[in-house]
Structure 1
Amino acid sequence: MAATKAVETTEFTVISRRIKGWTPSVILDVGANVGQSALGFIKAYPQAMVHCFEPFPASYRKLLANTRGHDSIMAHQIGLGAKPALLQMSDSAISTQNRVLSDRDPETGIEVAIHQGAAVLKRLGLEHVSYLKIDTEGHDLEVLQGFAPSLGCIDFIQVEAGMNRYNTTHVPYQRLADFMNDHGFLLFYIFEQILEFKKAGRPVLRRANPVFINARLVDLEGIS
């Protein structure tokens, strides 16, 4: 899961400027790694409850250590996906690039438990989510699919998208956008635009973090 700045408030700053009175109360951090984003969320909004999901054992242990003393951060050692399963995940210590492995991947990994997002919301008794952040190194669409029955209760969703076709590590932006549009979300803003850095860099956009807004928060009447 790609690292996020220790204090990542840019997204919420932009949202609060556009939607007066919006304040996050429940935040889901899927692919929490060692708690970088969660600690930033809580620093910006100490009244919010943050649920962190991190299946990789070493990262989860570090997540618990880093968030100890923060009662408003809850850590869950599970992964999220389209349906319950046991999947192989790469084994690279606490790397932010640990990912779910495909059947074609020769790399060996460890087995992790995958749960469906909608079922997890029900189990936790969450009827409303202010912000869902997904950063799962190419597994983002499967995570979204697992939340499909409950997407209506979520205000904003952040994903990590591949922005050019050659990037096969991340889910192509268009696939994510089509899914979000089909489920009642509109593109809000594109954050963290990263140019290609491999082979000393290339002048193309490699990945970005698009954020989508639930259409129920948008009045488009009379706009064409």
Structure 2
Amino acid sequence: MTIRGMLIKGHQVDGLVRAIGLRKSASVLLRRALRLDSPVQAFCQDHLLSIRPLDSDLFVVSQIFGNQEYEIGGGGREALNRLARLWRQSGSTPVIVDAGANAGYSTIYLRDRYPEAIVAAVEPDPQAYEMLISNCAGLDRIMPFHGALWDHDGEVALRMSDGPSWSRGVLDGGGVSSITLRSLLARIPRARLLMLKMDIEGAELEATRNCGELLCDTPCIVIEPHDFMMPGRGCLSHVFASLAGRKIDSLMNGENLILIESDLLASASAS
């Protein structure tokens, strides 16, 4: 079915049902069809979430909680959790940076699955950020930041469109705070980057510029690539350059490219 210009596919409906149940899924889809914009409240894995029927929320909930598109196969999650515990024991603070956190669903998912880590949630869209704050209210180990991951600490402009909030990126300009990956981590005492997750609509090139040393030591990077939106730009050039010489497994889960240290997966297989 096509509603408000976005095709709702069968696997997305199936994922939504797995995430929030049949009755709440029907409520969200009916409200979307009737162009009713009041959020639906639904329990999802013990969290009460707000879902905006006319935005991209139902697709994101379906991807993350229903279709598990941030799950790392091959025992990767267990291996990362073991590593995070070792870091904690040595005095470091494991951090997951959720760049492009949107309404907070990915933030909650990552927080629940990596209990030793703090999740720094970065979102530039003001309405999505409000939803993030609401959905994550009362949850520990979440550090929200209203702004964009970029190559300088200053301001960028939100690239507005008539599309849903998940499609709004940023560009050079003003109006929205920007922060570098290094500055974001500096806000957390003894921070050590366990995972960098990016779904930032083509801003990957700027967000990872001058981050080579950080990315070289990051065990896992999860990205939704956007080169198809900007052909010839090489959005992931800095990421790939930082991985040169490292033994890395490349996995795909849904729309996400998952880059994880091969030795972690090897240790998970051996245990």
TM-score, normalised to structure 2, is 0.59
- Is the 1:54–1:79 contact (alpha carbons within 8 Å) kept by the matching residues of 2? yes
Using the TM superposition, name which of 83-92 and 68-77 deviates more. 83-92
Local SS of the residue matching 1:124:
coil
Residue in 1 aligned with 2:192?
128
Using the TM superposition, name which of 67-76 and 77-86 deviates more. 77-86
Structure 1 residue 209 and structure 2 residue 256: aligned? Answer: yes
C-alpha displacement of 1:126 = 4.1
Local SS of the residue matching 1:11:
coil
CA distance in 1: counterparts of 2:184 and 2:168, whole angstroms: 22
Residue in 1 aligned with 2:253?
191
1:91-170 equivalence runs, <5 A: 91=160, 95-101=165-171, 111-162=175-226, 167-168=229-230
Q: 1:213 to 1:46 in 2, by over 3 A?
A: closer
C-alpha displacement of 1:134 = 0.6
Structure 1 residue 11 and structure 2 residue 93: aligned? Answer: no
Structure 1 residue 48 and structure 2 residue 95: aligned? Answer: no
1:62-101 equivalence runs, <5 A: 62-91=131-160, 95-101=165-171
CA distance in 2: counterparts of 1:213 and 1:181, whole angstroms: 10
**What is the aligned-residue identity percentage?**
23
Query: Aligned letter for 2:259?
Result: F
CA distance in 2: counterparts of 1:42 and 1:123, whole angstroms: 18
Q: CA RMSD in A?
A: 3.5
TM-score, normalised to structure 1, is 0.70
- Is the 1:81–1:143 contact (alpha carbons within 8 Å) kept by the matching residues of 2? yes
Q: 1:130 to 1:217 in 2, by over 3 A?
A: same
Greater percentage in strand: 1
- Is the 1:189–1:212 contact (alpha carbons within 8 Å) kept by the matching residues of 2? yes
Local SS of the residue matching 1:161:
coil
Query: What is the CA deviation profile of residues 85-118 of structure 1, one whole-angstrom value per residue up to 9, with x for unaligned ones?
Result: 3211123596111101468xxxxxx721111111
CA distance in 2: counterparts of 1:88 and 1:21, whole angstroms: 36
- Is the 2:212–2:238 contact (alpha carbons within 8 Å) kept by the matching residues of 1? no
CA distance in 1: counterparts of 2:233 and 2:225, whole angstroms: 5
Mark the structure with the bigger radius of gyration.
2
Residue in 2 aligned with 1:37?
106
CA distance in 1: counterparts of 2:153 and 2:196, whole angstroms: 19
C-alpha displacement of 1:10 = 4.9
Query: Aligned letter for 2:76?
Result: S
Greater percentage in helix: 2
Q: 1:160 to 1:179 in 2, by over 3 A?
A: farther
Residue ranges of structure 1 left out of the alignment (5+ in a row): 104-109, 193-207, 220-224
CA distance in 2: counterparts of 1:20 and 1:97, whole angstroms: 30
Query: Aligned letter for 1:189?
Result: L
- Is the 2:69–2:256 contact (alpha carbons within 8 Å) kept by the matching residues of 1? no
CA distance in 2: counterparts of 1:179 and 1:38, whole angstroms: 27
Local SS of the residue matching 1:128:
strand
Aligned pair count reads 196
Q: Pick from 179, 187, 209: which aligns with 2:241?
A: 179
